[in-house]
A = this chain, B = another copy of it.
Amino acid sequence: MKRKYAIVGVGGIGGYYGGRLAQSGQDVHFLCRSDYQYIKEHGLKVESVKGDFHLTQVNAYNDAKQMPPCDVILVCTKTLSNYQLKDILPPILHPDSLVILVQNGLGLEQALEKDLPDIKIAGATAFICSFKVRQGYIRHAEYGELSLSPYHACVADSLKQVALDLQQAGIPTQYVDDLNYLRWKKLVWNIPYNGLTVLMNASTDKLTFDADSRPLLRDLMREVIEAAAACGATIPFDFIDKMIASTEKMTPYSPSMKLDYEASRPMEIDTMYTCPIQTARAAGYEMKKTAVLEQQLRFKEKHRL
């Protein structure tokens, strides 16, 4: 049985993963925003380290109400627009639809469940350097691994099927049992690097190799791991060494928050900083260093100096 896929948001993440699924022969429906007209007319081009491709015929929509009900919905927007999902999703859902949040941060699935209590939810994290160059044109620069994990236990089997579809489309995909663990693990990198690239106006390599910011990165990672432990997710401390070593090998790069800041777009402070801080506090752990970054980022967002 072939699954019908919906991609919500056709940026670096949705454009690449949705494009790969469509290229592999899956039935994929893209919900676009500003790019709708362009993609409708010219299709979607992907320039990728894993091979370029051009989808000339794309099922593009600018209104969810025009879309067919889909089996799997990959939400690939920034979390800042998640409050709109309660209006966007219902038209494309059937009773067994699976909504997968391919996003950064914490508390996303809980918030969505509050808005739409009856739907089936999973989470995903993407380890990828990919961004929209211009309308209908995505550049996938490096990596590409996806990790999927169920929020509702009942979706485990269908999520594993999705993982197979993704693998068949050439996307290295792993299935992870513990979503809480997966989300915190991603934060170990996201919290130090997203905030500090903005605040220090520096790329990942500069921060990683500098004798003063490197211990700051490590201190922040340690704090995230301690917070995760307080919240029931055990990440070993040597994960810090692995993250630093793998970032050392990366092509110098600007994480999503840095790109948002430079483009004068709002930043994902709520889901990447505030929610982890509050969740850890409720579990009895104060993320003191992370809280400094959070407040500095909120100030910076208003005063882009």
Contact = CB atoms under 8 A, between A and B. Distances in A.
A261 to B, nearest CB: 13
Contacts of A293: 292
A206 interface: yes
A300 B210 contact: no
A295 B216 contact: yes
A199 interface: yes
Contacts of A196: 296
A58 interface: no
Interface residues of A, number: 26
Contacts of A216: 292, 295-296, 299
A288 B293 CA distance: 12
Contacts of A207: 299
Given A288-B289, A292-B289, A292-B292, A299 B219 contact: no
A305 B206 CA distance: 12
A155 to B, nearest CB: 38
Interface in A57-94: none
A210 B289 contact: no
Contacts of A303: 200-202, 206, 210
Contact of A219 (B201, B212, B291, B298): B291
A32 to B, nearest CB: 34
Contacts of A206: 303
A196 B292 CA distance: 11
Interface in A209-242: 210, 212-213, 215-216, 219
Contacts of A200: 296, 299-300, 303, 305
A302 interface: yes
14 contacts: A196-B296, A199-B296, A200-B296, A200-B300, A200-B303, A207-B299, A210-B299, A210-B302, A212-B302, A213-B296, A213-B298, A219-B291, A219-B292, A292-B292
Given A200-B296, A200-B300, A201-B305, 17 more contacts: A199-B199, A200-B299, A200-B303, A200-B305, A201-B303, A202-B299, A202-B305, A206-B303, A212-B295, A213-B298, A215-B295, A216-B296, A216-B299, A219-B291, A219-B295, A288-B288, A288-B289
